[in-house]
Structures are given as C-alpha cells and as structure tokens.
Chain A
C-alpha cells in the first residue's frame, strides 16, 4: 500500500502520463515553429524601425497625389469655364455659334440692295456701307446688319441736327424695302479709317422708328440699344483723332 501511495504521489508530482513514443517526433516541429516565429519576430523587430517612415512616406505621397489631382481637376474645370465664356469653341470653329445657327440661311441680297438704294435716295451717302439682310431661322423676320467702314469711304453726315450715327441707323430702316423684308432688328458696326471696328450697336427696328418719330426719348432709346465697344481700338482711334 505504501509503495502504491508513493508511486501515486510521484506520478502526481510528475504530472499525467504521456505516451512515450511520439514524444521526440512531436517536440521537434514544435521547436522549429517556435524558432521560425521567433526569427520573424526578431527580423520584424530588426526591420521595424526603418519600416515606419516608409509607411509615412507612402501616405504623404498619396496625399500629395490626390491634392495634385484635385488641383488639376480644378484647373481644368476653370479652363473649360473660361474657354466657354470666351466662346473659344466657336472661335476655333469647333461648334456653330448661336448666331451662326440663327442666320445660316441664304441672306436676302435683293432686299439688301434695295434698302441701300432707298437710303441713298433719301440722302444718305452710301459709300463704304455694306448692308446684309439676314433671314432668321424658324421665323419670317429678318435682321439687317450694316458695316459703316470709314476705310472704304464711309462718312457720317455731321451737318444733321441730331446724332449722325443714329441718323444713319434711321436712314437704313426707313424704307419700304426694309418693311417688305420684315426687318425686325438692326445692327450697325462702325469701322474707323484703318478699318478697325470701334462699336457695334443693335436695336429693334420699332425702337429706331419710334426714336426717329420722337415717340421715345434719346435716353429711352439708349436703353434699348445693345452693343459692344472695342476699347483697345477706341483708344487707338482716339489718339489719332484728337
């Protein structure tokens, strides 16, 4: 009994019984695993310190890349908006401008000649005046575009009491030919002695006739006048004129 109890005590102290045969075989790979894990850990620990800045560099690079891309997109968007505002696609002939679409049909050359002839008959000096009657698309109305070119001999009638520039506009629309061609609006472009455009004005025919008949004041007429002034050409022309 004593020997049995001593055996039991010694077994209890040694731990549970472990099979003998697989002991050596199972321990070896366990040792290998632990050594390889340790190796990795060690290598990580060794390489760990220089790897951290690499990660940071990678993140900074990515931030720089996306900021750069964002700036690029913003620049492209601004360039497109500016290009559209300056009507570059139309100027480069990539698309038809609204005005080209509006007046793409055959101009009314006969009416243009008749309007010019009747303006001359009414006392307007027509030298240096080019008149075009443009038929509006999807409408039975027309628009008159006149070029008053000083370099081609156009002269304003400075002896009239009113404004010679507006008087020329009036003379062009006050004819039966303009009425027959259904001229609904008029644009006049003035070019100086060197042929450079200074101003282009446009007004509805009715407003011009009302102004001529003194139904509306000059101020009211000015309000209905749209236009474009070429400031650079005006400055150059002013230097020569004064």
Chain B
C-alpha cells in the first residue's frame, strides 16, 4: 500500500516536471497547487520527490492537519454536505410530485419522510413534511413536524440567531404561512371550515414572524387564533 502511494508520488512528480512547459488546464493548475502545498508541508522535497514526511502522510491516510481540531473537522464536511444534498434532492423530487396534475401526495410524503429520516434535525425538511401533512388533512400528525421545525426559528428559544439565520427563518416561515393560507382557501372553496390544527399552526407561524420583527403578522396571529374551525 505504502509502496503504491510512494510510486504514485514519484509518478505525479514526473508528470509535473514533464508538463511544466505546456499551457495548463484547470486540473494541471490544481495538481501544481497540490505539489507546491505538499512541498511547503514537507511531504515532498523542493524537487517534488518523496521525503520522510511522505511516510507520515501516507500513514495518516493522505490527510494533513492544520493544527486546529475544529478547523480540521470541516475537511470531512463533504460527508455531511452529501447527506444534505441527497435530502434536498429528495425534497425537490417531492415538490415535483406535488406539482403534477393530480398531485402525487403519497409519493411526495414518502420522499420527504426519507429526507427527514436522513437529516432529522433539518427543520427546512421537517417543515416541508409538516406542510404536506397539513395539505393532506393530517393536521394533528403534521403538528409534530411543524412545532419541532419552527422551534429553532423561535427568537425566544434561539436568541443568538445571526442576521442571516433570522432572514432564513423569516423566509421559511413566510413560505409556510403562504402554504397554510392556500390550504385554507382550498378548504373554503370546497365549502368546508378550515381545519383547527391548520389554524393553530397559522397562528403560531404568524406569532413567530412577529417575534422575528415582522410586526404586521401580530394582528393576523390573533385573527387566526380566534377563527371558527372544525
């Protein structure tokens, strides 16, 4: 294994030396950068050949520490990002299923459930599942996803929110509020009274939006709380 790595180093070094006179592609530029970085960290010598540091590098599995554990942790962030990307893709496919005519709610719910299962603390995904459950008339079931999801956007529970997080929360809560309004409109169009669970959620969302600084939602929260429901 180690021999294979050392051979690879020599091979890359030889390629770098022979290719140094050509016009460089992006990959060549990056390989060039890798070579210079490895030289600066003592993994390769000035001629691009393996050193004693190469053995340490190979033994550590091709990993170089920055000397700061917290900083090093983000090097492995790729696996977190991959799970986020996979979950987001499932959520996007779920939205596509809902935009079909007629909407495929069962397929969308299955995809969102998978997304939430893989990232249970991502309120953005929980929120979408909750909204879909509301739309399916499963208000009480939706509540657990919406309550949990909106908990992290509650300014009382999370006072150290950055401005960007605050803006993100507002954008999410507004989209949720819009969806709830649409759900209520659909119920009224059918001649039904709005679902009590949906109205309670609407009131909660408006209250949180008001807590984040959007005062116009304060009165709307009260109206939703006092509305007649079934």
Do the two chains bind? yes
Q: In the complex, which residues of chain A have a beta carbon less than 8 angstroms from the beta carbon of B79?
A: 97, 99-100
The 5 A-B residue pairs whose C-beta atoms are closest, nearest first, are A226-B66, A242-B19, A110-B168, A111-B164, A222-B40
Closest Cβ of chain B: how far from A157's Cβ, in Å? 10
Name the CB-closest residue of B to A147: B81
Is the pair A198, B30 in contact by a Cβ cutoff of 8 Å? Answer: yes
- For A136, A197, A200, A240, the residue with the greatest tally of chain B CB atoms inside 10 Å of its CB is A200
B145 within 8 A of A: no
A51 within 8 A of B: no
Binding stretch for chain B, among A17-25, A30-38, A41-49, A174-182 = A174-182
Per-residue contact bits, chain A 97-140, to B (CB 8 Å; 1 contact, 0 not): 11110111111111100100000000000000010111110001
B53-93 residues at the A interface, CB under 8 angstroms: 61-68, 70-81, 83-85
Q: In the complex, which residues of chain A have a beta carbon less than 8 angstroms from the beta carbon of B83?
A: 100
Closest Cβ of chain A: how far from B21's Cβ, in Å? 10
Closest Cβ of chain A: how far from B24's Cβ, in Å? 7
29 pairs from A and B in contact (CB 8 Å cutoff): A98-B73, A98-B76, A106-B123, A106-B124, A130-B85, A134-B74, A134-B77, A154-B26, A156-B30, A158-B29, A165-B33, A185-B71, A189-B78, A198-B27, A198-B34, A202-B75, A202-B77, A222-B37, A223-B40, A224-B68, A225-B37, A226-B64, A230-B62, A231-B12, A234-B8, A234-B12, A238-B19, A238-B31, A242-B19
Query: Are A202 and B8 CB-contacts (below 8 A) given A97-B79, A234-B34, A237-B31?
Result: no
Is the pair B124, A241 in contact by a Cβ cutoff of 8 Å? Answer: no
Q: How far is the CA of A102 from the CA of B121 in the complex (A)?
A: 12
Q: How far is the CA of A193 from the CA of B27 in the complex (A)?
A: 8
Per-residue contact bits, chain A 154-178, to B (CB 8 Å; 1 contact, 0 not): 1110100001111000000000010
A12 within 8 A of B: no
A9 within 8 A of B: no
Query: Are A143 and B77 CB-contacts (below 8 A) given A132-B84, A199-B30?
Result: yes
Name the CB-closest residue of B to A150: B26
Closest Cβ of chain A: how far from B136's Cβ, in Å? 23
A interface residues (Cβ-Cβ under 8 A, vs B)? 85-86, 97-100, 102-111, 114, 130, 132-136, 140, 142-143, 145, 147, 150, 154-156, 158, 163-166, 177, 180-182, 185-187, 189-190, 192-193, 197-204, 218-219, 222-232, 234-235, 237-242
Name the CB-closest residue of A to B26: A156
